[in-house]
Structure 1
């Protein structure tokens, strides 16, 4: 897992891992979620990868656009 930079200082994201068609996100509460091209879809997953690499906006994006549309809770 890659440590999320959390440039805003208020994100709930701890770390993340990316693959060709998914992103796994570990939240500060200790829960890990898998988001894939199946759920919530390629467009969202690719945007989430971009935000993860930038270190800002990932948690907000999930809350506003993805919500509970994850592929699995790990």
Structure 2
């Protein structure tokens, strides 16, 4: 899991892991969600990958757009 840069300083995201057709996101409560092309769609996953790499805007995007479109949660 790669550490999320959190450039805005108030994100609930702490880490991420990018895969070909998915992204895994770790939140500050140690819960990891996996979002996939099948669960959220390719366009959303690719946007999440860009935001994760940029270190800014991912948590907001998830709460406003992605919501409950995760494949797994652990």
Name the TM-score, length of structure 2 as normaliser: 0.98
Match of 1:33 in 2: 33
**CA shift at 1:38, angstroms?**
0.3
* 2:22 matches 1:17: no
The RMSD of aligned alpha carbons is: 0.5
Name the TM-score, length of structure 1 as normaliser: 0.98
Structure 1, unpaired ranges of 5+: none
| 1:61-72 → structure 2 map (5 Å cutoff) | 61-72=61-72
Higher share in helix: 2
Q: How many pairs does the alignment contain? A: 74
Runs of 4 or more consecutive aligned structure 1 residues displaced over 6 Å after TM superposition = none
